[in-house]
Chain A
Amino acid sequence: MTANVLLTIRNLRTHFFTEEGVVQALDGVDLEVYEKEIIGLVGETGSGKSVTALSVMRLIPQPGFIVDGEIIFKGKPLHLLSEEEMRKIRGKEITMIFQDPMNALNPVFTVGNQIAETIQLHNDVTYREAFNQSIELLRRLNIPKPERIVNSYPHELSGGMRQRIQIAIGLACQPALLIADEPTTALDATVEVQVLELIKRLRDEFNTSIMLITHDLGVIAEMCDRVVVMYAGNVVEKADVKTIFKHPLHPYTQALLGAIPYAERKKKSRLTTIPGTVPNLINPPSGCRFHPRCKHAMIVCKTLKPMLLEEEQGHFVSCFLYSKNKEFAEREHGVFEPLPGRIVY
Chain B
Amino acid sequence: MRGARGVWGWLLQRVTAVGLAVVLTVHLYVLHFAGEHAVLTVADVSVRLRTLTFILVDFGLLAFALYHGLYGLRSVILDYTTRESTVRAVTVGLWALGSIAFVYGALALLLLIKG
User: Are A and B co-members of a single complex?
Assistant: no
Please give the residue numbers on chain A whose beta carbons come within 8 Å of chain B beta carbons, in ascending order.
Answer: none
Please give the residue numbers on chain B whose beta carbons come within 8 Å of chain A beta carbons, in ascending order.
Answer: none
